[in-house]
């Protein structure tokens, strides 16, 4: 039997569910990747994510060549390319991992139909999360809508096999000299994209190195993770997004470490599963509010205010520093994602979907489920057990989580000379810095009125 392992958002060989299953079932396995033009065509030509993917694919190809095989690569539409590969190589089955994003679901359905016509089949496996879809349900047999009870049920269900490595027999890899010429990895420029500098190393080697470094400070994670001026987070979200690192390895690391910091990190990994579950079971969140009553809000925020937010010129230093960092690197600290999102929706009164789309364009670690879930959480339109409408005060957040102004000074150089007190609110100082675009206290009341008008009880 001949098999093709089609990698998508799982750019590795190690602890890879579909690759493991393929090598168990087949005599020969070839690994393939498609630069999907339906995804790529709308993207800006300098999109950092394509640089990360291309470098990770280069490493994957090199690993396969070390094993005497090589990666098949094509640029185009998978619904056409997969049947072509199947016909050319006599592939009996294509193995891939699940992807619950709406486009991926549509694509895989089309691919499966075309493969059936070509005399093959598509088999898919859980890999991107520990528990997916309807694996963790409440006592009524329905998907959870609140994180805390979901987390308890997730932890109660967890067994060792859920996180054991998915081992592959690499001796089953298809020898490269028996593969047809062509379908080799093209240069990035040939795909139509420009090389970009990245703030982290790509590929499995980069993921392993970052995980190793993070593990050394894991005990302090719970204490340091909210401070953007510190190296307190794992920085692994990009690797988990593109699958250069297995989620099972992360959970194994957290469980093995066993500290309170490791348990806090595990809770964050469970949040990731939670948002993937929400997307799979409530796909309407892609276009609208999880709580549909909030779709009736007519957000009055202006295009000019949205532009100031995007540029990082709102006059609120922590918000501006966060946006400047995002625009320059494609990265934003999780605490700052909450602060920036709250400011756009609750201070500038701009529809959360505009901010969600901007993050989707800029974030190197953009993941539809997590990005949508995070924005709806901040906008009070999503899954949230809080009985009140959460509104972050950007100045208090700045003083609490960047107390010495370390992060602000890094990204807003005109404020570097100010004192630790002035750097959080420099207005009144002799400094060339934008006047605050709105007054927080006033906007807070307007936001509360908007949310209450949507039908939720006054708290």
Task: Give, for 305, the enclosing helix (H) or strand (E).
Answer: helix 303-311
C-alpha angle 274-280-286 in degrees, rounded to nearest 5: 95
Cα separation, 356 vs 374, in Å, equals 9
Q: How does DSSP classify residue 35?
A: E
The two structure tokens encoding residue 11: 């750019």
Q: In what order do the strands lie in the sheet with 2-7?
A: 71-76, 28-36, 2-7, 93-97, 122-125
Task: Give, for 36, the enclosing helix (H) or strand (E).
Answer: strand 28-36
List phi, psi (to 5°) of 44: -65, 150
Q: Contact 405/423 with Cβ under 8 angstroms?
A: yes
Termini Cα distance of the chain: 63
Residues annotated as part of the active site = 268, 271, 299, 334, 352, 375
C-alpha angle 445-447-452 in degrees, rounded to nearest 5: 95
The CA–CA distances, whole Å, from 354 to 92, 166, 361, 452 equal: 44, 39, 11, 21
Cα separation, 342 vs 236, in Å, equals 24
Q: Transcribe 142-166 into DSSP letters.
A: SB-SSHHHHHHHHHHH--HHHHS--
Measured in whole angstroms, how far is the alpha carbon of residue 289 from the centre of its chain?
19
Cα separation, 198 vs 207, in Å, equals 14
List phi, psi (to 5°) of 399: -65, -35
The two structure tokens encoding residue 178: 């028996």
Rounded to 5, what percent of the chain is helix, strand, coil?
55, 10, 40
């Amino acid at each position: 039997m001949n098999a093709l392992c089609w990698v998508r958002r799982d750019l590795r060989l190690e602890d890879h569910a579909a690759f493991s299953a393929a090598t168990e079932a087949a005599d020969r396995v070839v690994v393939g990747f498609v630069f999907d033009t339906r995804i790529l065509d709308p993207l800006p030509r300098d999109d950092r994510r394509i640089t990360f993917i291309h470098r990770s694919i280069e490493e994957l190809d090199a690993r396969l060549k070390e094993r005497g095989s090589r990666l098949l690569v094509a640029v185009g539409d998978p619904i056409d390319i997969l049947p072509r590969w199947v016909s050319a190589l006599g592939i009996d089955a294509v193995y891939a991992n699940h992807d619950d994003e709406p486009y991926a679901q549509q694509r895989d359905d089309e691919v499966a139909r075309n493969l059936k016509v070509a005399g093959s089949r598509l088999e898919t496996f859980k890999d991107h999360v520990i528990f997916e879809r309807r694996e963790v349900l409440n006592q009524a047999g329905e998907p959870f809508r609140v994180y805390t009870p979901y987390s308890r049920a997730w932890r109660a269900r967890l067994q060792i096999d859920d996180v054991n490595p998915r081992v592959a027999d690499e001796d089953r890899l298809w020898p490269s000299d028996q593969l047809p010429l062509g379908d080799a990895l093209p240069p990035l420029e040939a795909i139509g994209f420009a090389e970009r500098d990245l703030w982290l190393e790509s590929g499995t080697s980069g993921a392993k190195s970052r995980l190793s470094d993070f593990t050394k400070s894991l005990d302090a994670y719970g204490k340091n993770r909210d401070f953007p001026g510190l190296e307190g987070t794992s920085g692994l979200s990009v690797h988990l997004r593109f699958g250069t690192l297995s989620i099972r390895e992360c959970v194994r690391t957290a469980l093995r470490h066993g500290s309170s910091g490791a348990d806090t990190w595990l809770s964050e990994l469970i949040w990731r599963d939670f948002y993937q579950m929400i997307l799979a079971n409530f796909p309407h969140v892609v276009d609208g509010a999880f709580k549909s009553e909030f779709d009736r809000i007519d957000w009055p925020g202006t295009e000019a205010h949205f532009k100031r937010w995007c540029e990082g010129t709102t006059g609120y230093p922590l918000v501006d520093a966060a946006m400047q960092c995002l625009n320059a690197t494609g990265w934003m600290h999780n605490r700052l994602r909450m602060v920036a999102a709250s400011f756009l929706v609750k201070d500038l009164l701009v529809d959360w979907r505009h901010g969600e789309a901007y993050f989707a364009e800029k974030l190197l670690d953009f993941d539809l489920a997590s990005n949508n879930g995070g924005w709806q959480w901040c906008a009070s339109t999503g899954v949230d057990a809080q009985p009140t409408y959460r509104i972050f005060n950007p100045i208090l957040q700045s003083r609490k989580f960047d107390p010495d102004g370390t992060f602000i000074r890094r990204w807003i150089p005109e404020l570097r000379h100010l004192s630790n007190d002035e750097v959080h609110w420099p207005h009144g100082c002799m400094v060339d810095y934008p006047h605050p675009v709105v007054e927080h206290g006033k906007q807070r009341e307007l936001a509360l009125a908007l949310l209450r008008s949507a039908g939720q009880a006054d708290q």
